[in-house]
Amino acid sequence: MNLLIKIFCLAAILNLSETFQIYADVEKYNVKWEIDGDLITFSIEAETTGFVGLGFSRGGGMSGADIVVGGVRNGVPYLEDRHAISRSTPILDEEQNVELIEAFENDTHTFIKFSRKLETCDEEGDVAITEDTISLIWSFGATDDLVYHGANRGSRSVNLLDPQGPENPDLSKYKVWELRTVKAMPAADTTYWCTIHKSPNVPRKQHIVGFSAILESPSAYVHTHHMEAYLCHVPPGMESVFETYLNHTGEDCYYPDDPDFPGHFCESIAYGWAIGGEVVLFPDHVGFPLVSGEYFKLEVHYNNPNHLNDVAFDTGLKLYYTEDLRVLDAGRIAIGSEINFTQMIPPNSEKFVTVAHCDVSCTAELPENGVALFNFLIHAHLSGKKLKVRQFRNGEELPWLINDEHYDFNFQATRPFRKEMRLMPGDHLALAGGRTGPPLNHPSDTDPIVELPLEMQGRTFSQVVESVNWTPEVREFYQKVTRFDRHDAYCRPSGVQVKVGYPPHGEDYVPGDVCERRRR
């Protein structure tokens, strides 16, 4: 399981409203929602005069989903709180935890507005709305009879509580620097392809204020899974080598044919986009410095499960910048595990946790008053299902910095923090990634990059792993070692290498139980 989290930092306090609106559009179904305290209100417009359904699903399908069905039947508005236990007619909840505000229809469309609590405490029928990734599932029927909806359905992963920027931002006022890759995608399941780029020639420092993906064709949308731009640290006398590769088609990031390709000098993550991400604009007083003559490596993850040949398309990143400097410079911190053979999940595992640390050796040089955090991006491969960043300070675990209990590999947006989170000198961060679910039959079944070409006395690494007698005792020991033993940590760019594990602290942080408080 490859884990990574990238956090954007600035030296200022952010004020984020607790009330905001965001929109999700599909062809014949539009939904918008608004948060106010512990209440969420949905407004739906659907091209039908029959029933309209909206569901909240942790896994993306109907099974286990919390579903609301409403409409106008014989001139009378109605709304029902239901849940699904399979791909069949949703069951009416014993507790009705939705409130109909209004519902009406015209000759072609139905309009519904309703509200519910974020946490209804109905464990049987409802799904809590939290900061986790969740799938909105939707459907509508030709009549108000609750029968199979046919093709009138869909789903979309969202983060319902995340504050959002403007719906249609004006990007014309910014200059654009493109890190573009033009290539025929390799005919392999997964390819990480790297190219070298150079920052534009600017007369003085500029500020990068946002970025977006270059996805100009259907193939680019389908086959570009994620991209990252890395800042290169060029050794003295190596500029000519980097210049050679500026107009180069690139190399496989991990197995380059050209031994002189300088990608290994580029390890500081600068910008990242993943499937599900949209245009990202930073707060109005924050910008990332841009100067002339810096080299960057663009790493593109091509996803080609059908091994298609000769599919060529443009992809990459657009960086938006301005000469009107913002008040504050921003920076980045990345926490994660390097990809190697120790990133292994034993065969037939239902649960497993991987941990990475960022300790005081990395945070000691922060400003005395610390830094405020405004955006984050979490990333793991297919076997990652839960991701959490724990924060420790002065022997105490603080509330979790980031927590997503339902991470979706196919939805990895750059997300804003809902409220100010601060990182102080001496803080310790621990990234914990876990998988749950059906047993893995093979240590690399769901993570192609773990399939390393290692040979051990004539056997591959996977064969060696499968040959181990994974008794419950061996599994428990291996999990304990990988989770709680000391790790080799490397702090870039300082180059500090340390042995690190969880710091001494009191009780582990446990979030408050809203439902328990209500029952008192």
User: Residue 57's closest CA among 200, 155, 148?
Assistant: 155
Annotated catalytic residue 379: yes
Q: How far is CA 142 from CA 147, 374, 456, in A?
A: 9, 44, 62
Instruction: Measure the CA angle with vertex 227, ends 221 and 233; round to 5°.
Output: 160
Catalytic one of 207, 357, 379, 381: 379
DSSP class of 412: -
Asked if residues 289 and 329 have their Cβ atoms less than 8 Å apart, the reply is: yes
Catalytic residue among 174, 192, 245, 407: 192
- Backbone conformation region of residue 247, classed left if phi is above 0, alpha if psi is from -120 to 50, else beta: alpha
- Distances 425 to 111, 168, 202, 394, 482 between C-alpha atoms, Å: 52, 38, 34, 11, 27
Asked whether 81 and 93 are in contact (CB, 8 A), the reply is: yes
> How many Cβ atoms sit within 10 Å of the Cβ of residue 441?
11
DSSP bridge partners of 301: 192, 226
CB 110 within 8 A of CB 29: no
Note whether 269 and 334 are within 8 A (CB).
Answer: yes
Least Cα distance to 86 among 69, 62, 56, 67 occurs for 62
Q: Is 192 a catalytic residue?
A: yes
Residue 184 has φ and ψ, to the nearest 5°, of -80, 120
Centroid of chain to Cα 56: 19
Q: Which of 12, 80, 90 is nearest to 330 (CA)?
A: 12
Residue 449 CA to residue 382 CA, distance in Å, equals 10
Please report, as a single letter, which amino acid is at residue 369.
Answer: N
Distance CA 72, CA 56 (A): 22
What φ, ψ does residue 222 adopt, rounded to 5°? -75, -40
Q: DSSP per residue over 75-126, as a string?
A: TEEEEEEEE-SSSSPPEEPSS---EEEEEEE-SS-EEEEEEEES----TTT-
CA 196 from centre of chain: 25
Catalytic residues: 192, 379
